[in-house]
Amino acid sequence: MSQRTNQSRRDCTGRLSETEFLAAIVESSSDAIVGKTLDGVITSWNRGAEHMYGYAAAEAIGQPISLIIPTHRIEEFAHILEGIRRGERVEHYETERLAKAGQIIRVSLSVSPVRDRTGKLIGAAAIARDISHLRKTEAALAESERRYHSLVETAVHGIYRATLEGRFLEVNPTLLRLLGYEDDDEVLRLSIPADVFVHAPAHAELIAACLQGKGAQQDVRWKRKDGKQITMRLAAHVVFSDPQATVEVIAEDVSLHREFERKLQQLERTELLGQLAGGIAHNFNNYLNVIMGHEFLLSSAIGATEDLHHHLLEIRKAAQHAADLSKRLISLGKKEPGLSTEEVDPSAVVRDVEAMLKGVLPANISFTLDLSPQTMKVRAAAGEIQHMVVNLVLNARDAMPNGGQIEITSGYRTFKGPTRTIAGDYLSGDYIFLRVADTGHGMDIVTATHALEPFFTTKPEGKGTGLGLSSIYATLKRHGGSLDIATEVGQGTRVTIFLPLAVGQPAEESAVEPSRTTPKTVLVVDDDNGVRPVMVGMLSAAGFRVIQSSTGKDARAVFEQEKIDVILCDLHLANVSPRELLEGFRWLLGTTRIIVISGGELTEDEQRRFQPGIFLQKPFSTAQLLTAVRGQIEAT
């Protein structure tokens, strides 16, 4: 063809002839259309071939077809030519071709025999379509699907696709694990509303929410294969496609989160209760100080030989017990335990709370004590020991709903070599122990090992915080002690707490003797009209010259007129904050000794501002007050 088309004939209307029209179609095709002889010599080359392979028609025509066939495909094309010679056709055969620039092109090839007017086979026509981009797209899609499948299969959350009615269509391995199944087929047979949701209407609510918007998020309760219930957070959306709409869901197990939130709320309520108790105890201490002070003054007035002295001693003992209780209430309001330590006999502490312990036990539980008659002391706070014993007895009670026996034993034990407890501590040396034993249902060794973990509890939901044993263990660790558990299912439990034996014995309080030297002057500043006169009476009876004031302003005026040796000041005065009060004391610390008193305890900030002053917590005995005052005078 001249200029690739036959321009030899036109009809009378000027339109292209049939031959010309067919040639124009070939030239306009974007596919590469190549004619060749049966020997493989190129005879025609359209513009599509020029664009695809990079050769102009003049360059390609007359060249062997191997010009555009990669070396590793030559034999393949030889077989195609053999088929053409037999009159066979090749349809949409996927193969490769070589461009002028050297790049390999992926093509879909169709080859047909070409015959003349007599039907004689004279060559072949090949149509090649570039499918490189299609294969790249397919490869990218396959890789995307592989990654998506990997993401779903290895996801930490459960993922599933289901019908809107509630039949699983696809599930990932995590969902199987969450539901407690091992086989996909088992899960695919489940009805989601009936077999998975604890409350079937919640499934309908989830689907309805999805249909109303772009998606929905909902926290629901699911039931596992073993019957255990778990809390799930579902993020779902509906996909509308043929032949039916489906719902795709990501399911996250938030059971632990919910349990943590619940117990955190319990802790917050406990902390609020502790703060309330601490506030009440703060005021209660003022009243106790009045009682204890008047008891001292009355005892001093009537003498030890009077019959009433016995009753006054009982008042003193009761007030002291109330003071200890008040200190424990104040410690509840603190984030860290704050009871001061002293040398105490654990057996004596248990005897003090014996009546209270019996009061919290039902009639079907017998309670006995087997305490060492020997006085053996440890360095701790009596209130902390009481708290530990009460916790252990209550745990023992709860382990025996049908009744049983509880026994508390105390004694002395020496560990000659490092001995490991269930808590993982190694004890060596001399220890005092308290053991609470019950005849309850007991625990297996695994449960016992976890018993010291915070929030771990064997009690039903809502019946315990899981902080009892962990708080006991934390207290023991602060004092160098530990805890051990001996238990067996059906055989009861024996919990033993160990505290190091204290070195030495506490000094006895000396009798209060009036000062025989030149009287020292003490300024008492307190706005409580009950507490202030009592302190004045205590100090006056001991020979001190006492001046009293009810406000900081009046105290400042007195200080400017009198020589004051010691200031005894309440931390919580009306119309002045503790911080302002302590800041105001700074100018006095060089010349006058200061004792701050309070029904509560100093915060870390108050302690830092108050150094090097002395703090005395209400309620205090006369001996404690005089010891503090005399100590400050001697330090001047």
pLDDT tens-place string over residues 47-99: 999 999 999 999 999 999 999 999 999 888 888 888 888 888 988 899 999 99
**pLDDT value of residue 518:** 63
**pLDDT value of residue 447:** 74
Asked: is 31-132 a CATH 3.40.50.1970 domain? The reply is no
The CA distances from residue 287 to 290, 319, 339, 588, 631, in Å, are 5, 10, 20, 30, 26
Helix (H, G, I), strand (E, B) or coil at 96: strand
Asked: is 338-505 a CATH 3.90.420.10 domain? The reply is no
pLDDT at 185 over 50: yes
Task: For the chain, give the mean pLDDT.
Answer: 79
Question: What own/partner pairs with CB < 8 Å and gap ≥ 24 does 100-108 have?
Answer: 100/53, 100/54, 100/55, 101/54, 104/70, 105/52, 105/53, 105/130, 105/132, 106/130, 106/131, 106/132, 106/135, 107/32, 107/52, 107/131
Residue 81 CB neighbours (<10 A): 17
Higher pLDDT, 272 or 349: 349
Residue by residue, DSSP assigns 165-177 as TSBEEEE-HHHHH
Note whether 31-132 and 155-253 share their fold.
Answer: yes
pTM of the entire predicted model: 0.38
Q: Are 46 and 32 contacting, i.e. CB atoms less than 8 angstroms apart?
A: yes
What the block records as the tokens of 41 is 């010599």
What is the percentage of the chain residues whose pLDDT exceeds 70? Answer: 73
CA 471 – CA 453 distance, rounded (Å): 9
**pLDDT value of residue 6:** 43
**pLDDT value of residue 32:** 93
pLDDT in tens, 317-359: 666 666 665 665 555 445 444 455 678 899 988 888 888 788 7
Q: Are 221 and 231 contacting, i.e. CB atoms less than 8 angstroms apart?
A: yes
Per-domain residue ranges of the chain = 31-132, 155-253, 338-505, 521-635
Asked: is 521-635 a CATH 3.40.50.2300 domain? The reply is yes
Can you tell me the mean pLDDT for 35-39? 91
Q: Are 520 and 565 contacting, i.e. CB atoms less than 8 angstroms apart?
A: yes
Taking the domain 155-253, which CATH number applies? 3.30.450.20
